[in-house]
Amino acid sequence: MENRKILVIEDEKPIADILKYGFEKEGFQVQCAYTGSEGFAMACKEPPALVLLDWMLPDIGGVDVCRMLTEQYRMPIIMLTARGSVEDKLYGLESGADDYITKPFDLREVIARARTILRRFDKARGASEDDSFVCGHLTVVEREHSVYCQDRLVNLTPKEYELLICFLKHPRQVFTRTALLDQIWGYDFTGDTRTVDIHVQRIRKKAELDGMLVTVFGVGYKYVPQ
């Protein structure tokens, strides 16, 4: 089902209320947070379709919240601010925001721009579905070399990524440590099989694969989907 959730992070309650009113009238579900940390926590708990984020917040600044969110999630963000200089705009966009609206704003314009971004985002997501596959709670987008756990981007090194893909593409197949070393690190690799153990432990934790990426004692590892 289409995600119609909007998260408003704005410390000025009257402005948050106006946005909530406007977007709800258009059929969106709106949640409001009044500090950066509260907003970040809400976005992590229940990733919205779009975030409207105020620049000046009492605790964590909007630009930092934006960076924290875009590091972990792919959700579009519109920055709201009373400032309007070109430098600020560039800074806001560099932090990962998709658009930038200055206050005072026209509610209809905010809604129109939000719709445009949501459409663009849905399209991009649709296009990348061609080379993506789902394994339980994980979504792999091969072109991006990215793995998502629910909507959270799993932060993997290139070797961890290759190793994880190898397991996901061969469910229930047992791999010996030597076979994995050969396959992922190549025959020239001079390290020992403990390298494999360390990498397996890391991807187990990062991709939440406890009980799925299992040790086969005396042999190696296998991925058992649940």
Least separation in angstroms between CB 32 and Ca ion: 13
Least separation in angstroms between CB 40 and Ca ion: 15
* Chain contacts with Ca ion (rule: CB under 5 A): 11, 54, 56
Least separation in angstroms between CB 38 and Ca ion: 13
Nearer to Ca ion, 53 or 212 (CB): 53
Least separation in angstroms between CB 76 and Ca ion: 20
- The string of DSSP codes covering 17-65 is HHHHHHHHHTT-EEEEESSHHHHHHHHHHS--SEEEEES--SSS-HHHH
Nearer to Ca ion, 69 or 209 (CB): 69
Residue 83 to residue 66: CA distance in whole angstroms = 17
- Quote the tokens at residue 72: 């972990």
H or E element in which residue 213 lies: strand 213-216
Nearer to Ca ion, 54 or 98 (CB): 54
Least separation in angstroms between CB 43 and Ca ion: 17
Q: Are 221 and 174 in contact (CB under 8 A)?
A: yes
What CA–CA distances, in Å, run from 137 to 48, 209, 226?
18, 9, 9
- Quote the tokens at residue 162: 């290759």
Residue 157 to residue 155: CA distance in whole angstroms = 7
Please identify the residue of the shown chain whose CB is closest to the bound Ca ion. 56
Nearer to Ca ion, 44 or 56 (CB): 56
Least separation in angstroms between CB 55 and Ca ion: 7
Q: Are 211 and 200 in contact (CB under 8 A)?
A: no
Nearer to Ca ion, 11 or 98 (CB): 11
